[in-house]
Amino acid sequence: MRDLTLFAVTAIVGTRWIAASARAGPGSVVLWLLAAVFVIVPLAIAVAALTIKYPGTGGLYLWTRRDFGPWHGFLCFWVYWLGMAFWFPSAAMFYMSVGFHTLGPRYAHLADSRPWLLAVSLAAIWIALGTNLVGLRVGKWTQNIGGSATWMLGIVLVAAAALVWARHGSATRLDPLPVWNWDTLSFWAVMAYGMSGMELAGLMGAEIRDPARTLPRAAWIASATATAFYASSTLALLVVLAPERINELYGLADGGAAAAGTLGISWLGPLVGVLVMASAVGQFGGIGTAVSRLPLAAGVDHLLPAAFGRIHARWATPHISILTLGAVSSFLLVAIQAGDTMRAAYQALVSLMLIGGFLPYLYIYASAFRAGKRWSASAGFAMSVFALFCSLIPGAEVHNAWLFEAKLALGTAAMVGSAWLIYRRHRG
C-alpha cells in the first residue's frame, strides 16, 4: 500500500507544472480543483476498474486489446509509448534548467544555452533509465524517494510563502476567477495532463499485491495528495512572485531565490532545487519502469520483434524496451530543436506529449464504459477530447505558429503511421 501510493504520487505529480500554472495567474488554483473533479477522479475510477477486470502486465494495451481487438490495442500502446518518449526530453529540459538556476548567477545563464541543456538532458535521461535495468527491488526506492521529495517540496513552498506573506504581503492580487483566453485554453491541456498518471499503476497490474483492495485506496489517496500539492504550491509561488515574473521553465528556481532573498535564508533556493531534482529522479524511475512493460507485452504477443518479449537474465527487467525508450527519447530531444527558439521547442515537445498521452485515454474511457463505469467514463472521454483540442493552441512563447502546428501534424502522423507499418509487418 505504501509503495503503490508513493508510486502513484510520483506518477501523477510533476513539479514543472507549478511554474506554468502560476504564470497563468491566480485563477489557475480554481482550474486545478476543476481538473481534479473532471480529470483525475474519472481516471482513477477507470484504472481501478480495468486493472481488477483484466489483471496482468500491460495495462492500457491489455485492456484495449481485449475490448477492441489487436490493432486497437497496438495503436493505443504505441501512441502512448511515443507520448512518453516525448515526455522524457521535455521533462529533462525542464529539470536541468531548474538545476542550472539553483546553482546561482554564475551558472544560471547555462539554462538558456541549447548545447549545455541538450548535453545534461541527454545525460539525465540515460542515467535515469540505466538505473531501471536493475529491477523493482531496488528501483521502487527511487519512486519512494521521489514521492517523499514531492511532499517535502510542497511543505517548503507553502511555509516560505506564509512567511513572505506575513512580512510583506502577497506579490500577486489573488483573484480566484480564471481569465479565459487562448493562453488559458492552451494551459488547460497542460493542467489536465498534470493530473494524469494513474494509468501507469495499471501497467504494473501483475506486480501489485491484492489490486482489488490496494489500487482503489492508493488511487484516492494519491489523487487527493496531487490536488492539494498543485493548488497549494501554485498559490505559494504566486505569493512570492507576480505572474509576469514567473518563467515557465525555471519559475520554481526564481521563486525559491526570491523567497530566500526576502527571508534572508540563503540555503532556501538550493533546497528547492534539490527537492525538484529528487522528485525528477523518482518520476524518471517510475515512468521508465512502468512504460517499459508496454513493449514487453506487445513483444510477447509477437506484435514487436521477439527481443522485446525477453527479460534480462540477471535483473529480470525488459532491458530492450528500456534501451529503446532511451534511444527514441534522445533522438526526439535533438530533432525537435529545429527552428524557432529553445522555449518554443520545449512547448512543441509538451504538445506532442499531450497528444500522445490523451489519444490513448479515449480507449481507456471506452473500455471503462464497457466495464460499467459509464458516468465517469463519459466525463473523462469528453475532457480528453477538449484537452486534445487545447493542446493544438500555440502558447505565448511560440513566434512561428505555422512551424509549431507543422511539427504537431508531422509528429501525430508519424505516431499513427509508424504504428500501422509495424503492426502490418508483424501481423503478416
Map out the domains of the chain as residue ranges: 2-427
Architecture of the domain delimited by 2-427? Up-down Bundle (1.20)
Q: How far apart (Å, rounded) are the C-alpha atoms in residues 319 and 214?
A: 28
Where do the H-state alpha helices sit in 292-373? 293-300, 319-335, 342-370
Work out the widest C-alpha separation in the chain, in whole angstroms: 70
In sign, the C-alpha dihedral spanning 370, 375, 376, 377 is positive
250 alpha-carbon distance from chain centroid: 17
What's the count of helices (H) and strands (E) in the chain, helices before strands? 19, 0
Stronger pLDDT, 296 or 155, i.e. the higher one: 155
Cβ density class 302-338: b for 16+ within 10 Å, e for less: ebbbeebbeeeeebebbbbbbebbbebbbebbeebbe
- Tell me what the pLDDT averaged over the chain comes to: 79
Answer for the pair 33, 188: CB distance below 8 angstroms, yes or no.
no
| 306 or 182, which is more confident | 306
- Residue 227 above 60 pLDDT? yes
In 241-267, alpha helices (H): 251-263
pLDDT per position as a tens digit, 368-422: 999 988 988 998 899 888 888 887 777 666 667 777 788 788 888 888 898 898 8
Q: Which residue has the higher pLDDT, 137 or 301?
A: 301
Residues 371 and 53: beta-carbon distance below 8 Å: yes
Is residue 221 very low, low, confident or very high in pLDDT (cuts 50, 70, 90)? confident
Per residue in 318-337, pLDDT tens?
778 888 888 888 887 777 66
pTM of the entire predicted model: 0.77
